[in-house]
Amino acid sequence: MLSRVYSAATIGVDAKIIEVETNMSSGMPKYFLVGLPDRAVSESSDRIEAALTNSDASFPRGRVTVNLAPADLPKEGSAFDLPIAVGLLNVSRQLKTNKLDSTMIVGELALDGKLRPINGVLPVAVEAQKQGFENIIVPADNGPEAAVVEGINVYPFEKLLDVMDWLEDDIGEPLRVDIDEMFSRNGKGEILDFEDVRGQENVKRALEVAAAGGHNAVMVGPPGSGKTMMARRLPTILPPLTLEEALETTKIHSVSGLLPSGEALVTQRPFRSPHHTVSDVALVGGGSIPMPGEISMAHNGVLFLDELPEFKRSALEVMRQPLEDGSVSISRARMSVSYPSRIMLVASMNPSPTGDWYDAADPAGASPAQMQRYLSKISGPMLDRIDLHIEVQKVSYDELSSKSKGESSEQIRERVVEAREAQTKRFLGVNGVYCNAQMNTKTSRKICKLDDSSSKMLKKAITSLGLSARAYDRILKVSRTIADLEHSEDIRPNHVAEAIQYRSLDREGWLG
């Protein structure tokens, strides 16, 4: 007797079909599990035996071999419990069904026969649909997440007995979810809004520019000036996630097990703010069983590095490539996986180790040499990838206590969305470029043409302010974004002038 049940394994943010073959022959009762199972999979037989006995069934008595094919793909985790159990029931004629060929099955079993949720259901459902499966069986808690995928019937069940009933007698209805409703519901609960930020008009403007062009930014200012507060509000002015982006981001959260139970889709741009003690692996991903890091968890959203100079140099180093490529590749002996990491990087820092701006009159303040040393920690490679430097001053008491609200996130977002639409048109057909920040040097010099007066102004700024060479391309790109915010075809001198202001860390003698 041979039975075949279809399941799937996740690799990175994708899934591969796994065939669970079960063979039973007469002979001494013995159980073999082959096909590169890891420890959790090998231990499944104990769970399955208990679950079967607690579901009015029994573990087959005979010589049983379970093969997880293809054999060269490592199998991890507990998602194979359910397909193996179904295979055992089928091969021992305790379960008669003709649905096994058209149904994908995943789920972990508890000893009492209940189904426990697993990680990575979304990629599995996507793959099942792609491979033409009609149905997918998942644990109840994973139901909404799987049902986001259209074109496949999702059957979420509480326990093994329910699965058996459905396979034999078709008892149970497929789950349907309303994706539009998920998007609209999620926007409503939003509590963060730029209207809570008093004053700071220039910082808000700079963040609007950053959001409009997808530019990385660093905020420099003394403690309590509202850097963290404003960074947290950045996702509220970025364009809303498209369904495609939401699926990409949800897949990453799904495989790392961080999708809240019962939650189907990440519909808001993520905001991740790892502590500066974060390990390199936690930041960019990796591990013996590869897992996505913070930079991938922030995919399509914002990665916020608060107190940038406190981060280890190695942490900033390992982020360089992922920032450039928009993805992280992790190689292991048997496979290599890649996680997307298209993010907006926002960092914050104090201007000096004592916290405040340079003040020659303050005896307790840091000396220029101390400040230079402090800033040198982040110079070079990291600053190379940051388009906007935003200086943040403390707001006055009068401003803080004023009752008048600032502009709302929704109003700012409208302008950002319009500026992005211009970019979408511009980069139609350009591979891998969606916004101004993603232009490489060649593209930016072709697209960001300056007229005579703009280019004279830029030349003057570069020489008189002592701006470094790297500042040039950054200024071009940011000028383009500022022009887009103004619906201007051409980059004009006032756009360039504003962009130049956002290069303060490149300026010679900035500290004095």
Ligand X SMILES: Nc1ncnc2c1ncn2[C@@H]1O[C@H](COP(=O)(O)OP(=O)(O)OP(=O)(O)O)[C@@H](O)[C@H]1O
Which residues lie near ligand X (CB under 6 A)? 197-200, 221, 223-229, 350, 395, 400
Phi-psi category of 78—alpha, beta or left, where left has phi over 0 and alpha has psi -120 to 50?
Answer: alpha
The binder of 226, among Mg ion, ligand X, none, by C-beta within 5 to 8 A per type, is: ligand X
| Nearest alpha carbon to residue 229 among 400, 460, 359 | 400
The binder of 200, among ligand X, Mg ion, none, by C-beta within 5 to 8 A per type, is: ligand X
| Nearest alpha carbon to residue 104 among 122, 89, 92, 77 | 122
Closer residue to ligand X, CB minimum distance, 80 or 194: 194
The count of chain residues that interact with Mg ion, using the rule CB under 5 A, is 1
The binder of 197, among ligand X, Mg ion, none, by C-beta within 5 to 8 A per type, is: ligand X
Cβ-in-10-Å burial (0-12, 13-18, 19+) of 396 comes to exposed
Least distance to Mg ion, CB of residue 226, Å: 8
Closer residue to Mg ion, CB minimum distance, 228 or 488: 228
Closer residue to ligand X, CB minimum distance, 118 or 347: 347
Q: What is the 3-state secondary structure (H, E, C) of 205-252?
A: HHHHHHHHHCCCEEEECCCCCCHHHHHHCHHHCCCCCCHHHHHHHHHH
- The pattern of x and - marking residues 171 through 210 that bind Mg ion according to CB under 5 A reads ----------------------------------------
Closer residue to ligand X, CB minimum distance, 326 or 355: 355
Closer residue to Mg ion, CB minimum distance, 228 or 393: 228
The binder of 77, among Mg ion, ligand X, none, by C-beta within 5 to 8 A per type, is: none
Query: Nearest 10 degrees: CA dihedral of 348, 351, 352, 356?
Result: -110
**273 forms part of the interface with Mg ion (CB under 5 A):** no
| Nearest alpha carbon to residue 156 among 177, 182, 184 | 177
The binder of 224, among ligand X, Mg ion, none, by C-beta within 5 to 8 A per type, is: ligand X
Least distance to Mg ion, CB of residue 296, Å: 24
Least distance to Mg ion, CB of residue 306, Å: 5
160 and 167 Cβ atoms separated by less than 8 Å:
no
User: Which residues 6+ apart lie within 8 Å of 360 measured at CB?
Assistant: none
C-alpha span between 507 and 447 (Å, rounded)? 26
Closer residue to Mg ion, CB minimum distance, 131 or 228: 228
C-alpha span between 208 and 415 (Å, rounded)? 8
- The pattern of x and - marking residues 222 through 241 that bind Mg ion according to CB under 5 A reads ------x-------------
| Nearest alpha carbon to residue 347 among 396, 285, 298, 287 | 298
C-alpha span between 506 and 117 (Å, rounded)? 51
Least distance to ligand X, CB of residue 304, Å: 10
Closer residue to ligand X, CB minimum distance, 202 or 242: 202
Interface residue list for Mg ion (CB under 5 A): 228
